[in-house]
Amino acid sequence: MDITELTVHELMEKLHNKELTTTKITKAYVDRIKEKEPEVEAFVTSLTDEAQAKAEEIDKKIEAGEVVGELAGIPIGIKDNICTKGIKTTCSSRMLENFVSPYDATVTEKLNNENIISLGKLNMDEFAMGGSTETSYFKKTKNPWNLSKVPGGSSGGSAAAVAANMVPWALGSDTGGSIRQPASFCGVVGLKPTYGLVSRYGLVAFASSLDQIGPITKDVKDSAILLNIIAGHDEKDTTSVDMEKKDYVKALKNDVKGMKIAVPKEFFGEGINNEVKESLEKAIEKYKELGAEVEEISLDIAKYSLATYYIIACAEASSNLGRFDGIRYTYRTSEFKDLKEIYKKSRSEGFGAEVKRRIILGTYVLSSGYYDAYYKKAQQVRTLVTNEFNKAFEKYDVILTPTSPTTAFGIGEKSNNPLEMYLADICTVSVNIAGLPGISIPCGVDSNGMPIGMQLIGNKFCEETILNVAYTFEQATKFRENCKPEFKGGAK
Amino acid sequence: MQVSKEELLHIANLARLNIDENEVDNYLKNLEDILNFANIVNKANVEGLDITIGANEAKNIFRKDEIKMFEDNEALLQNAINPEQNMFKIPKVIN
Amino acid sequence: MSRDDYEVVIGLEVHAELSTKTKIFCSCPTKFGAKPNTQTCPICMAMPGTLPVLNEKVVEYAVKAGLATNCTISQDSKNDRKNYFYPDLPKAYQISQYDKPLCEHGYVEIETENGPKKIRILRIHIEEDAGKLNHDDFGGGSLVDLNRAGVPLIETVSEPDMRSTEEAEQYLRKLKSIFEYIEVSDCKMQEGSFRADVNVSVRKRGNSKLGTRTEMKNMNSFRSITRAIDYEVDRQIEVIENGGKVEQETLRWDDVSGKTFSMRDKEDAQDYRYFPEPDLVAIKLSDEYIENVKKSLPELPESRKARYLEEYKLSEKDANIITASKHLSDLFEEATRISGNSKAVNNWIISDISRILNEEEMEPSEIPFTAEELAKMVMLIDKGTISSSIGKKVLEELFENPKDPEEIIKEKGWIQISDEGAIKEIVLKVLEANPQSIADYKGGKDRALGFLVGQAMKETRGKANPQMLNKMFIEELKK
């Protein structure tokens, strides 16, 4: 048995019937990281020693019969923009290269309370700005299916680590597709919850009104299990919603009969790769076989959403990233003659090109004379997008689209053309704009063996619906049993 | 959408970023491309629509006025460069 | 042309720190004077990933301030970010309110030579204070202390309705008094918890268009504010008279030289890029909420004044002085309640207490003794235990070293001599030493009696009962 091949629910079962110990599980992952990390480069900070010590501690507690929680001893990887007390949280930026957080994010606390063991902090696009993890200051993470390709982004480290079996599951964050798109590129499951379902306290803000933390997992059931842990109101985040706690695992009914699925034709038009389209069409047929009612609809919001997204996200980012100023805890330039030089040099040296580009754009759209034409207009378009989704959800339970117009592209292929890189987010951003939940699950591979992702979008706080629809497909198609990453290509 | 070099440098100054002379053209081109694309929002029919602020409709979420000290005050300055007298040190600023 | 040909136009933006226990967006205490950065947490230090949560008292206090200044309370309000870089602003944005302040369109009334005048209030909004920069005496740099970062403020913006330095001062005193009454701010100017940005312009009389204004920021004493306005008015008139143009700019008032100086770097044109704060949800106050706050408002100065005129028959002037400060007014009411002697309490406040406050340059809020202590002193005089001249000494002692007046007089040996035998002894002694006064008195000079009583008081260091002395001298002189 290869322990690292198992899903979390499988690991839990084996832990509970004493087939495995926490120490054994952790050891297996530590070995796997040793083997695969040099190729994949998913970690910014690896905590293998700490994890093993923690595992032994938990095993002792289990032996002593202490209550340690259902998930005690399960390892995890955490995206490096989620604060972890006493451990570096870098956002893959030179700006925070040595930053040690003085506090835990709310989700980190929740993981700690469950005695879940962190294996380390995972690479990402700098400050979550990008779709390929190439903007990381530290390293370029590779796609485990083909090492010459990007893992997607910005949660590329998280998706790659899960796909490469270096962690059983991971936390990512999603502002415009940053969980779903890398999940799609790496053939794993990525869920972006409804805005407000998971506390953002301790998630280093990129765009406050769009950011959400979510699970990246091997299968849908694990996604539901991790969502059970991280969801819920937090007094420290007033945008987190106070509502009754749900059990998302119970929602997995493996049945979509009578479920109404909408397929918006605009998401299958120009720019969408043919193989992706074909794979999605097969998935649609599968849903029909499974008893769902699938209808084509018109939802002409994709291009507006993308423009709106970049205006709002960059505007908020330009403000959110002001605190990285060389004064209190960030990188500070070595030579300066006055305060203004500390600011300008620290920020120019500490931020990478993409981050600076977005700060400039965001500052521009908020500046006097342009605010109305860009920011205010974008906020109105946001209302329009939300209204259009609302209309669709009056009739349908789920909206089905590709997650990304293409499969994973080559490292370096798009990094010189920002606009082209932005266009790759066309299928995912509208979900953030409207604050909806969306999940990406693998639905096939292209002719090069690269995974293709299907996105299922639900109405607000209807995670149960999309998880069940995703689960039913997964159970019917068994993607994981048929396709596995092969670590093809690559220089090493 | 035409952006002038002066405008770009003004924006960079507001954002406290340096743009080197040899980066100006590249920044201008990127910014113009993206703004041209972003102009789509001006084609959307948004007449009579309110702006969306944040992504949920919650209101009046307040905190009680009760003191809670942060438990690890020392950790707050652990990342500071050469703090003095428990304060962050910066070049002289005239108020 | 002379200064009289110009009209002065003044508008004020007043920042008052709210007297909440905790900061506006985190649970750190707001106490003044703590060791640097000990009243901080990841939130007010703007650590990455932290989020603000609005303190409910801040909203309540701002609504109180709005209601007490006749504002309309907005039922649809929100927070906005004001973006700029400064080392005392750790997030590089201040959470404030831009286009939807909590309170709008109010006024306060001030007294002028031509009768009462309404000064309109444009808005009151909530925002967070910045930290403090200290000089580093050794290294020559500056040091950032964030204890004050995130302390809640209300900013009250007036219309440019004031036409003289006196009106500006009156308005400030009135606003301060209201905030003290409703207990939303302690308004300690020397601690910066009540400070003003002053906008001044001048225009030729009869001109309806406003002149170009200059702004002086963060002024925190009445004296500096009035001096600065006077200086700035003169300066602007001089510029215009010399054919120049007043430039719109921010100035710094220097108390030592008594001049204003240009402050901001010209190349750094400000653009605050306000936008709605996405980390906070909307503030939508119900009628019921506003009604409840209204009900909780204490009695305001106008109403107290009317009551003092009616109930205690205070003079208009005395009632004005006492109600101008909540502390004086509370002192008056409480000391009157305990002693039952409103007239005496009034007299003490108007004369001796006001004099000492003036001499010591103290605010009424700094009075160190309690109303009970003042009342006890009044009662000791009423009972004849001490004379009113001893009372003055007791009052001075209360300012110096406040404690129970009874203890003070015991310790100091100031208890009035009311023993008939003892008084007689003193009277006889004084008469013996002053034969000329006896002759004068008998010769019809009544003034001589006063002199004798005075001598006896001197002899007893003020402790003798003056009424008894008077009576006994007359008896003896008649013999």
**A391: pLDDT confidence band, cut at 50, 70 and 90?**
very high
What are the backbone dihedrals phi and psi of residue A397, each rounded to the nearest 5 degrees, phi first? Answer: -85, -35
Hey, are the CB atoms on A327 and B88 less than 8 Å from each other? yes
Highest mean pLDDT range out of A459-473, B78-92, C347-361?
A459-473
Surface of C (138-177) touching A: CB under 8 A: 144
Q: Quote the number of domains for chain A.
A: 1
Question: Would you call B18 and A367 a contact, using CB atoms and an 8 Å cutoff?
Answer: no
Q: Count chain B–chain C contacts defined by CB atoms under 8 A.
A: 119
CA-nearest of A169, A59, A76, A84 to A116 is A76
Beta strands of A339-437 (E only): which ranges?
Answer: 398-402
Q: Of residues A36, A54, A79, A460, which has the active-site annotation? A: A79
**pLDDT value of residue B2:** 84
SS3 annotation, A429-447: HHHHHCCCCEEEEEEEECC
| Residue A336 with chain B: CB contacts under 8 Å | 91
Distances in Å between the alpha carbon of A30 and those of A12, A116, A217?
18, 15, 18
User: Which chains touch C (3+ CB pairs under 8 A)?
Assistant: A, B
Of C27, C273, C283, the CB nearest to B67: C27
Closest CB from B27, B58, B78 relative to A102: B78
pLDDT band, residue C468 (cuts 50/70/90): confident
φ/ψ of residue C80, rounded to 5: -130, 160
Domain coverage including residue A232: 3-256+462-482
**Residue pLDDT, tens place only, A113-144:** 999 999 999 999 999 999 999 999 999 999 99
Contacts of A343 in chain B (CB under 8 A): 16
Cis peptide leading into residue A154 (ω within 30°): yes
Whether A154 is catalytic is: yes
Q: Do C275 and A83 touch (CB under 8 A)?
A: no
Structure confidence by residue, pLDDT tens digits, C176-189: 999 999 999 999 99
Question: Would an 8 Å CB–CB cutoff place C279 in contact with chain A?
Answer: yes
C83 part of contact set with chain A, CB < 8 Å:
yes
Tens-digit pLDDT profile for residues C295-337: 999 988 888 999 999 999 998 889 988 998 889 999 999 999 9
Record the tokens describing residue C349, joined without a space: 């406040």
- Is residue B35 less than 8 Å (CB to CB) from chain A? yes
Does B24 fall in a domain? yes
- Residue B82, pLDDT score: 86
Instruction: Give the SS3 label for residue A159.
Output: helix
Report pLDDT for A269: 86
Assigned domain for B12 exists: yes
CB-nearest to B90 from A100, A327, A363 is A327
Size of interface A-C (CB pairs under 8 A): 99
What is the mean pLDDT of the segment spanning A303-325? 95
Check pLDDT > 70 for residue B72.
yes
pLDDT at A492 over 50: no
Active-site residue, A178 included: yes
User: CA-based angle A198:A204:A206, to the nearest 5?
Assistant: 90
A473: domain CATH number is 3.90.1300.10
Tell me the pLDDT of chain A averaged across its residues.
95
> Tell me: the pLDDT tens digits for C208-236?
888 999 999 889 899 999 999 999 999 99
The answer to whether the Cβ–Cβ distance between B60 and C281 falls below 8 Å is yes
pLDDT for C461: 79
Distance of alpha carbon C13 from alpha carbon A128, whole angstroms? 40
Looking only at the bridges linking them, the beta strands covering A212-217 and A189-192 are antiparallel
Cα separation, A43 vs A49, in Å, equals 14
Q: Does the pLDDT of residue B95 top 60, yes or no?
A: no
pLDDT at C264 > cutoff 70: no
Of B67, B68, B84, the CB nearest to C143: B84
Cβ–Cβ under 8 Å, residues A201 and A236: yes
Chains touching chain B at 3 or more Cβ pairs under 8 angstroms? A, C
- Over residues C432-455, the mean pLDDT reads 86
C-alpha distances (whole Å) from C385 to each of A447, C375, C471 are 108, 14, 17
Q: Closest partner residue to A360 among B11, B63, B75, by Cβ?
A: B11
Which residue is catalytic, options A101, A118, A154, A279?
A154
Q: Is residue B20 part of a domain?
A: yes
Touching A (3+ Cβ pairs <8 A), the chains are: B, C
On whether residue B37 sits in a domain, the answer given is yes
- Cα of A379 to nearest chain B Cα, Å: 5
Residue B57: both structure tokens together: 């409709």
Nearest CB to A83 within list C48, C52, C91 = C48
Reduced to 3 states (helix: H, G, I; strand: E, B; else coil), residue A213 is: strand
Enumerate the residues of chain B whose CB falls inside 8 A of the CB of residue A357: 27, 30-31
Q: How confident is the model at residue B54 (pLDDT cuts 50, 70, 90)?
A: low
Query: A88 touching B, CB under 8 A?
Result: no
Q: Say which DSSP state A95 is in.
A: G
The verdict on a CB contact (< 8 Å) between B16 and A307 is no
Residue A105 has pLDDT above 90, yes or no: yes
CATH number at residue B16: 1.10.20
**Per residue in A160-207, pLDDT tens?**
999 999 999 999 999 999 999 999 999 999 999 999 999 999 999 999
Per residue, the 3-state secondary structure of chain C, as one string, reads CCHHHEEEEEEEEEEEECCCCECCCCCCECCCCCCCCCCCCCCCCCCCCCCCCEEHHHHHHHHHHHHHCCCEECCCECCEEEECCCCCCCCCEEEECCCCCCEEEEEEEEEECCEEEEEEEEEEEEEECCCEEEECCCCCCEEEECCCCCCEEEEEEECCCECCHHHHHHHHHHHHHHHHHCCCCCCCHHHCCEEEEEEEEEEECCCCCCCCCEEEEEECCHHHHHHHHHHHHHHHHHHHHCCCCCCCEEEEEECCCCEEEECCCCCCCCCCCCEECCCCCEECCCHHHHHHHHHHCCCCHHHHHHHHHHHCCCCHHHHHHHHCCHHHHHHHHHHHHHHCCHHHHHHHHHHHHHHHHHHHCCCHHHCCCCHHHHHHHHHHHHCCCCCHHHHHHHHHHHHHCCCCHHHHHHHHCCCCECCHHHHHHHHHHHHHHCHHHHHHHHCCCCHHHHHHHHHHHHHCCCCECHHHHHHHHHHHHHC
Domains by residue range for chain C, with CATH? 3-289 (no CATH), 299-412 (no CATH), 420-478 (1.10.10.410)
Q: What residues of chain B lie within 8 A of the CB of C54, using their CB?
A: 61-63
Q: Is pTM beyond 0.95 here?
A: no
Q: What is the pLDDT of residue C435?
A: 87
Q: Which residue has the tokens 């289990």?
A: A62
Measured between beta carbons, which residues in chain C are less than 8 angstroms from residue A322?
83, 85, 91-93
- Mutation test of the interface with chain A: which of C27, C43, C47, choosing the one with the most A Cβ atoms within 10 A? C47
- A228 falls within a domain: yes
Tell me the residues of chain A between 344 and 363 that have a Cβ less than 8 Å away from chain B.
344-345, 347-348, 351, 356-357, 359-361, 363
User: Is the pLDDT at C416 greater than 80, yes or no?
Assistant: no
Q: How far apart are CA C329 and CA C321, in angstroms?
A: 9
- Cβ of B16 and A325 within 8 Å? yes
Q: Is residue B15 part of a domain?
A: yes
pLDDT number for residue C215:
93
Q: What is the mean pLDDT of residues B22-50?
A: 89
Q: Which residues of A touch C281 (CB under 8 A)?
A: 238-239
Residue B36: pLDDT above 50?
yes
The reply to whether C47 touches chain B by the CB within 8 Å rule is yes
* Model pLDDT, residue C265: 60
Percent of chain B residues topping a pLDDT of 90: 61
Q: Which of C22, C37, C284 sits opposite B65 (nearest CB)?
A: C22
Query: Two tokens at A470?
Result: 């995703």
DSSP assignment of A21-52 equals -HHHHHHHHHHHHHHHHHHH--EEEE-HHHHH
Q: Do C282 and B53 touch (CB under 8 A)?
A: yes
Question: Per-residue b/e over C139-169, b at no fewer than 16 CB within 10 Å?
Answer: eebbbbbbbbbbbbbbbbbbebbbebbebbb
Q: How many domains does chain B have?
A: 1
C364, C349 Cβ separation under 8 angstroms? no
Residue B14 in any domain: the answer is yes
| Residue A85 with chain B: CB contacts under 8 Å | 75
The DSSP bridge pattern shows strands C152-158 and C194-204 to be: unpaired
Where on the phi/psi map is residue C46: left (φ > 0), alpha (ψ -120 to 50), or beta? left
For residue B9, give its domain range.
5-43
Cβ of B91 within 8 Å of Cβ of A337? The answer is: yes
Arithmetic mean of pLDDT, A81-106: 97
Residues C80-94 have pLDDT tens digits of: 999 999 999 999 999
Q: What is the pLDDT of residue A448?
A: 95
Question: Is residue C34's pLDDT more than 60?
Answer: yes
Catalytic site residue from A93, A155, A178, A430: A178
ipTM: 0.96
Any domain includes B90: no
Residues of B in contact with A380 (CB under 8 A): 44, 46, 49-52
State the pLDDT at residue C437: 86
Asked if residue A213 is part of any domain, the answer here is yes
Angle value at C-alpha A470, between A468 and A471, nearest 5 degrees: 60
Subunit contact A419:B76, Cβ cutoff 8 A: no
Are A99 and A90 spatial neighbours (Cβ–Cβ below 8 Å)? yes
Q: Give yes or no for residue C195 having a pLDDT over 90.
A: yes
C259, β-bridge pairs? C254
Residue A32 backbone dihedrals phi, psi, to 5 degrees: -65, -40
